[in-house]
Structure 1
Amino acid sequence: VASGGIGANFDLIRKNWPARLGTPPKNMVSGVPAYVDGRMLEITEHAGGRIVNRDRMWHYTEGLKNWDPIWPNHGIRILPGPSSLWFDAEGNRFGAPNFPGFDTLSTLEAIQKTGYDYSWFILTEKIIEKEFALSGSEQNPDLTNKSISDVLKRVLPGAPGPIQAFKNHGEDFVIANDLKELVEGMNKLAGNDLLDFIKIKEQILARDREMDNKFTKDLQVNAIHGARNYVGDKFVRVAKPHKILDPKNWPLIAVRLNILTRKTLGGLQTNLNGAVLGIDGQPIRGLFAAGEVSGFGGGGVHGYRALEGTFVGGCLFSGRQVGRYLAKGQ
């Protein structure tokens, strides 16, 4: 069994949603194709396999509705730099460690405990030019085409092509030439009046004042300066610190962020050879599992949390273990 997790089965995600992460999202976007529906997990369980750690999931908080979808309810994740201001649905700025690109699970918990299943970035044109990247091979043609010249274009002024396409066509984007207009557009997009212009303005002004203080106590501003101490981030990933309400950095941009489903960290429990274990802890003859369906190995090799870039490794390693074992004729 190598059928993946449950990321496209929203009902199953809600059923297994842990109470510690708040209310299950009513609305989500799918970060995986429709066939990643958990069906083979259910079939294998009926065959005697044991599923463990059902409540361990790794979903993202920065999901966009894909304006050019490949599968149903297709979502794309923003890979953000540290400078965008992050607000909940009622316009309250998130505090540490819930900054862009920091602690995914902590931010997911914070969002869901607000009672709403979306949040907002507020940023400037200068921030989006440098700090927004998108997940997915089709969103990174310079990398997938192995074009050095196209990769180098990322340091040029202007948003990368895929980002600009979302600005032009994506339904989650609001672009305005002043903050009042921006907040009005955000409320219109959300279909409510939860966001108060004065409340948003005061929080942004408080952050902007810290641009004049090199001994800032704003932890997010500190993180921006810290990131720019690394030369690679300074030149290609983190925008030069600036005031969001300074018109020379406009237009202003708001992005509605949806919960984007992705990884299943639990799954079929296996031994070190990938043999699926039954309720009694013994291998089921002729039944093996590899990859996400077995929690990337064993039924949850990552534990409760995970590290970016480690998922494919678990798939490859667990698959190799099964292949080697079967190749020995055992």
Structure 2
Amino acid sequence: NLISGVPRHVDGRMIAITKNAGAAIINEDRMWHYTEGVQNWDPIWPDHAIRILPGPSSLWFDAEGNRFPAPCLPGFDTLETLRHILASGYDYSWFILNQAIIEKEFALSGSEQNPDFTSGSWKVLLKSRLGKGAPPPVEAFKQHGADFVVRDNLDDLVAGMNELVDVKLDTAKLRAQVEARDAQMDNSFTKDAQVMAIRTARNYLGDKLIRTAKPHKILDPSKGPLIAVKLHVMTRKTLGGIHTNLDGEVLDAKGNTVSGLFSAGECAGFGGGGYHGYNALEGTFLGGCIFSGRNAGRKAG
């Protein structure tokens, strides 16, 4: 059960139309889905979903309440985490965190979810990111989002989580894992991979100031309330697409150019139909669109 991370009109059908016109389509299996999707309580278009861009501190569990191993940590390896979720036999997972973490580490995709960035004002941005409380759009999702559960203790939190799903979570099982993680906060030589990653992230000043919460125990009452988020797999883009040469000219199944037909950007797999492999870094998507578009434009003349 996928939720949609793109507007209704972004349906990919031009790839099939181009194929019918004689183009070769390659690397169709290279899909890029996000694992931190949530239902939008205030959608702009039909079935409008939102992705959480998480910092490293939330605990991540599968549908049966098993904590994810490294590298399946928040903000780490999207593709490996997707494999892990699907291997569980379910299409959703859970974050467990607290107020201190959501204030520092949650951001949401979409310009409408980031008015501080789109304001063009450093003062507004710094006030939002460094001030008290979570950014207003994040707080709005916490209060209104169908996938968010907020409670004062773990027993009540799990009860609320179980109201959202058919597969019931075991409170004792979750408590044992959360307390085991919290116990690692007493040890400066922790062997918990996620705790080590949090401490490493905070060695970078930018992450320390605005992206990574100070290490603490999840169940610390002073950091509450506790929060759970049901996460869905969310569609976004394909890393494959229309096969082209380096000039953006579309190729047919035999590798010959289709006269007068060009392709660039995402529909061409960000360049040639396979600019990336199966994985990619977020910052590399736009560059492929610009570069392949420039080449196609120059060739088309």
TM-score bracket for the superposition, by shorter chain length: over 0.9
Moved over 4 A (4+): none
1:31 aligns with 2:5: yes
SS at match of 2:164: helix
> Residue 193 of structure 1: CA displacement?
4.3
Match of 1:273 in 2: 247
CA distance in 1, matches of 2:57, 2:264: 38
Match of 1:12 in 2: none
CA distance in 1, matches of 2:187, 2:268: 50
Q: Identity across aligned pairs (percent)?
A: 66
Match of 1:155 in 2: 130
Unpaired segments of 5 or more residues in structure 2?
none
The one-letter code matched in structure 2 to 1:46 is: N
Of the candidates 63, 68, 82, which is equivalent to residue 56 of structure 2?
Answer: 82
CA distance in 2, matches of 1:193, 1:29: 20
Map 1:41-190 onto structure 2 (within 5 A). Answer: 41-153=15-127, 154-190=129-165
The one-letter code matched in structure 1 to 2:146 is: E
> Residue 146 of structure 1: CA displacement?
0.7
Q: Alpha-carbon deviations, 1:102-155, whole Å to 9, x = none? A: 000000000011110000000010000000011111111111121111111111
> Residue 183 of structure 1: CA displacement?
0.2
CA distance in 2, matches of 1:321, 1:71: 33
Unpaired segments of 5 or more residues in structure 1?
1-26
Contact 2:153 2:226 in 1 (8 A): yes
> Residue 268 of structure 1: CA displacement?
0.5
The one-letter code matched in structure 2 to 1:91 is: G
1:205 aligns with 2:179: yes
SS at match of 1:133: strand
Q: Alpha-carbon deviations, 1:83-111, whole Å to 9, x = none? A: 00000000000011000000000000000
1:230 aligns with 2:212: no
CA distance in 1, matches of 2:175, 2:291: 50
- Number of residue pairs matched? 300
SS at match of 1:106: helix
Contact 2:8 2:46 in 1 (8 A): yes
CA distance in 2, matches of 1:109, 1:187: 24
CA distance in 2, matches of 1:246, 1:47: 61
Match of 1:316 in 2: 290
Match of 1:22 in 2: none
> Residue 194 of structure 1: CA displacement?
2.3
CA distance in 2, matches of 1:70, 1:321: 34
CA distance in 1, matches of 2:5, 2:287: 19
Q: Alpha-carbon deviations, 1:43-78, whole Å to 9, x = none? A: 111111000000001110000111111122111111
Contact 2:265 2:292 in 1 (8 A): yes
TM-score by length of 1: 0.90
Contact 2:36 2:232 in 1 (8 A): yes
Match of 2:168 in 1: 194
Judged with a 3 Å threshold, the aligned counterparts in structure 2 of structure 1 residues 193 and 259 are, in CA distance, closer, same or farther, namely: closer
